[in-house]
Amino acid sequence: MEKEKTGYPHIDKPWMKYYDRKLVDMPLPKMTMYEYLVEMNKKNLDMVATDFYGSKLTYGEMLEKIDEAARGLTYIGVSKQDRVLEILPTLPTTAHIMYANSKIGGVSVFYDPRPDSINAKVNGKKLLEIIKKEKIKHLIIFEQCYIPFISQIENELKELGIDKVVLVSSNDSMTLKGKLGFMLDELDKSGLKALKERIANMKKTSAELDEYIKKSPLQVLKYSELVERSKNVLAKKNDYTPDELSLIVHTSGTTGAMPKPIPLTNDNLNSHVHQIIAAGGKFEKGASVFQLLPYFASFGIADVAHFGFCCGSKMIQIPEFTPQDLPRRIYKEKPNMIIVAPAMLNSLLESKYLDKKDLSFIRRIVVGGDTFAMENEVKELLESHNAGKCRLEKGHGMSEYAGSGSIAFADHNPIGGIGAPLPYTTYAIMDPVTNKPIKFEDGKDVITGEAWVSSPCVTPGVLDGETIIPHYELDGETYIKTGDLINMRRDGNMFFDSRIDRTFARFDGYKYKPYVIEKILMEDERIAECVIVPYSDYEKNGYMPIAHVVLNSQEYTLDEQYDILREIIEEKLIHNPEVSTRQIPTKIKVRSSIPLTKNSKNNFRELKGEGIDGSEFTIIIPETNISVGEITIEKPNYKKPYIKL
């Protein structure tokens, strides 16, 4: 007998009609991440697991590499529940170390390899705070991160008892074929001159690193050396324990430069993979998946890496990229599945590289992390390039519940929607003022409120006795608050409305909180008002922050404005250890006043709608997904092409 409807979606769960009951009733996996990987790939041992510039490993070979990494971790002293800080880009070795930690019971703590500051001392100090606060015992880092991160804190690390550092190189994951593939890729991307410069810079950086290592008070082991030394070490397998901590990721949605740790258990991560399979979202076995999203982000681990590997996919590893190069990489690698932030797809719309090219190899695109405003345009692009049958799917999620909590595909994929809750996930729509649930009244087919989420994938929220993510009780279940205003229809489909705190996602998925930088800038007496909103960056094909400022005098000349802003930006932001380079606005518009609404509040919508016209000062921050270059400031330039939102 069907239960009587209450009108409350978190009780009635109207979205369950979209899912096959037989799949939903599958028991949740009770095993470690490593055990789940092995279980899901018993019949896939001869299939390709990773492809790194042409260097390929089968699943059987990948498991051998994981065993190799487990012996290495045991050799350097990693014990059960020891925390291993991993500052690594997307490499095959990164996956080997992550699963090896799971196998022996260690905890992988992933940290963004991009330096936050051009000042190495600032980067080192911030990292040292993380190491102390999160009780890190071991360090494994990408070789090019040693100088900007470790060089300034070597003695402090030794005092903490961390006397070994393991260096991982791209070469650890490359055969001779892969090295050739890398050089050919660079040649194709930038030309012969740029390739020669890249090789020269790599040699220079390598020589500088060797000098640092010679003088270092730490024992610095190259990963290849570690593998060789630990050949005869016995790595003891860790048995599954319910709710045991497996890894820690960090969210960019914080109120400062210090990232917030998100502890996740084996059960969180495995349940997340399991529920996407139960929803009918499993990747086709053997399908190639573009692995762009990083390991330090929950979405990158849970929805791309762990999910892709557990589906028996061929993971195409992309350690470094820019949005502008994405069309070329996609066409060259020809992935069947692409999982990206929406802004990354904008580069496909702007690119002439794809003109008249066949994209029929793309069978599925999954986007998440921000509103997908260009959905119709992307569909039209795919249809015009012989990929009209491609499944274009969306979702909504947070690091706090292992990546995503909803999915839009099959018969519940309306334009502009973010899908329906996944089968083991419950969304409650709450009044953000009273914190009481909202129900569907007669004649009302859409309700709007803050999304609260309950799921076996939700982080325990507590690390070393400190509550990081508070949990809330509602009708006998435990929820976390998302801070997102959501419109939910009676059929369970959801649409993103806005962030309560005006947070928006940059082109690279970094969650930008305007009020943090607004407050810092307004501490300077020369700035009377400051409002930060997103603008559409035509080069990055996504959002970046623009600061609209009113100075304390309207009499400043353009040169005086430049001098004032340069001084403020350098002092308050660039050289501020509490500010990440990703928080620095890349445009500043000086104006006489901030537009107001009829209620005399700042009109954020109008500011956002103004777009860019060339009257702005520009802060140039050269960056890829793993590096930041020298920061410069330019005066207004009306001759450059700009695009309005």
- Write down the residue that tokens 């573009």 correspond to: 290
User: What is d(CA 528, CA 522) in angstroms, rounded to the nearest whole number?
Assistant: 7
Query: Cβ(66)–Cβ(134) under 8 Å?
Result: no
User: What is d(CA 144, CA 139) in angstroms, rounded to the nearest whole number?
Assistant: 14
Inform me whether the pLDDT recorded for 186 exceeds 70.
yes
H-helix or E-strand spanning residue 548: strand 542-551
Inform me whether the pLDDT recorded for 20 exceeds 70.
yes
Q: Map residue 383 onto helix, strand or coil.
A: helix
Inform me whether the pLDDT recorded for 585 exceeds 80.
yes
Q: What is the pLDDT of residues 610-633, one digit of tens each?
A: 888 889 999 988 776 666 677 888
3-state DSSP percent of the chain in helix, strand and coil, to 5: 35, 25, 40
Q: What is the pLDDT of residues 208-231, one digit of tens each?
A: 888 888 888 999 999 999 999 999
Q: What does 256-269 look like in DSSP terms, one character per residue?
A: SSSPEEEEEEHHHH
Confidence of residue 257 (pLDDT cuts 50, 70, 90): low
Q: 269-296 burial, b for 16+ CB within 10 Å, e for fewer?
A: bbbbbbbbbbbebbbeeebbbbbbbbbb
Among 75, 54, 50, 77, CA closest to 64: 50
Q: What is the pLDDT of residues 135-166, one digit of tens each?
A: 999 999 999 888 888 988 999 999 999 999 99
- Write down the residue that tokens 């409807």 correspond to: 5
Query: Cβ(249)–Cβ(94) under 8 Å?
Result: no
Average pLDDT over residues 452-457: 96
Return the pLDDT at 370: 65
Confidence of residue 600 (pLDDT cuts 50, 70, 90): low
What is the DSSP code (8-state) at residue 570? Answer: I
Return the pLDDT at 254: 46
Q: Map residue 403 onto helix, strand or coil.
A: coil
Both structure tokens of 49: 């697991």
Return the pLDDT at 386: 95
Average pLDDT over residues 252-260: 60
Return the pLDDT at 255: 45
Q: What is the pLDDT of residues 308-365, one digit of tens each?
A: 999 999 999 988 877 778 899 999 999 999 998 777 787 788 788 889 899 999 999 9
All domains of the chain in start order, with CATH: 512-634 (3.30.300.30)
Q: Which residues pair with 463 in a beta bridge?
A: 466
Query: Cβ(460)–Cβ(263) under 8 Å?
Result: yes
Return the pLDDT at 639: 53
Q: Which of 131-135, 209-213, 470-474 has the lowest mean pLDDT?
A: 209-213
Confidence of residue 598 (pLDDT cuts 50, 70, 90): low
Return the pLDDT at 645: 32
Average pLDDT over residues 455-465: 95
Confidence of residue 179 (pLDDT cuts 50, 70, 90): confident
Return the pLDDT at 253: 46
**DSSP H helices in 76-153:** 92-104, 120-133
Q: What is the pLDDT of residues 77-103, one digit of tens each?
A: 999 999 999 999 999 999 999 999 999
User: What is d(CA 61, CA 288) in angstroms, rounded to the nearest whole number?
Assistant: 17
Chain center to CA of 600:
37
pTM of the model: 0.83
The half-sphere exposure of 475 on its side-chain side, counting CA atoms within 13 A, is 16
- The distance in angstroms from the start CA to the end CA of the chain is 51
User: What is d(CA 533, CA 546) in angstroms, rounded to the nearest whole number?
Assistant: 6
Q: What is the pLDDT of residues 553-572, one digit of tens each?
A: 888 999 999 999 999 998 99
What is the DSSP code (8-state) at residue 148? Answer: I
Inform me whether the pLDDT recorded for 452 exceeds 60.
yes
Inform me whether the pLDDT recorded for 489 exceeds 80.
yes
Average pLDDT over residues 59-67: 98
Q: What is the pLDDT of residues 522-557, one digit of tens each?
A: 899 999 889 999 998 877 778 899 999 999 888 899
Radius of gyration of the chain (CA): 25
Inform me whether the pLDDT recorded for 644 exceeds 70.
no
Which residues touch 134 (CB under 8 Å, ≥6 apart)?
83, 85, 109, 248, 261, 463, 464
Among 27, 29, 33, 28, CA closest to 265: 33
Amino acid letter, residue 530: C
Among 506, 501, 511, 573, CA closest to 260: 511
Inform me whether the pLDDT recorded for 167 exceeds 60.
yes
Return the pLDDT at 119: 78
Return the pLDDT at 372: 77
User: What is d(CA 472, CA 435) in angstroms, rounded to the nearest whole number?
Assistant: 10
Q: Map residue 474 onto helix, strand or coil.
A: strand
User: What is d(CA 159, CA 153) in angstroms, rounded to the nearest whole number?
Assistant: 10
